[in-house]
Structure 1
């Protein structure tokens, strides 16, 4: 069997790579030309559609113009007509509210005087049990699982290691 020299092998690899690249580019160009030709054929065969539509826009009324003119109207859904009534009413207070006045006594400024209260807070002595009543004999109430039977045919399984019978996975430090 005849062996190729490294130089010949290099030229052959470059030639195959160039041939495959040129073929791929030719396929892409042919595909693009085919898609464009199909689109042109579809555009010619389809009926022309007018894209001109008449749109009428009512005049825009700014909020400041509405309040001046007083001709604002609201739409009434039940009758489908508009009612001539003001949409909002803006009213300013006639006078400013009075300023709060602190007590005139020196109780607020005296640091040595302790505050006095008219009554002491009272804690209700009614206690509620969070443990519900009921259950069968031999059962204990667990807040998560409810009434649980204690004893009986319960089974305990001891598994060695953190992950059961199989080997531990990863670094368990």
Structure 2
């Protein structure tokens, strides 16, 4: 029998990704996705998009608009590749991370309040920081505001 995670021959396949990471010695860039139709886990390689990937389809801006886009790009990088990914990514897509799942689990009214609170708290904290730290904190606030906007855009507000 083959392990659904790593494909090696085993007596008993792993039943969870955590077990596969321990038993099959999977690295952090490899993850298993559950295929509902086949009822098995399939191996995938984790690909984290860069800000360039995310923004490549957007029109090019000049002047003041370009300055705003640079900040948005930094916020995306912080979320998908920096602090956000390090603390919360664990191989999951952004919409499967706590910033989304907690909101869904608490219901729209409570959940969106949490996003608004986090964005406001980060902005207030940034006001007391030196510029370099404030910039990073403000990027986090932008991510929370963006997720709130995404819920509204999806009609889940």
Bin for the TM-score computed over the shorter chain: under 0.3
Question: What TM-score, normalized by structure 2, do the two folds share?
Answer: 0.18
Is the helix fraction higher in 1 or 2?
2
Question: What TM-score, normalized by structure 1, do the two folds share?
Answer: 0.16
Structure number with larger C-alpha Rg? 1
Bigger RCO of structures 1 and 2 (CA < 8 A, at least 6 apart) = 2
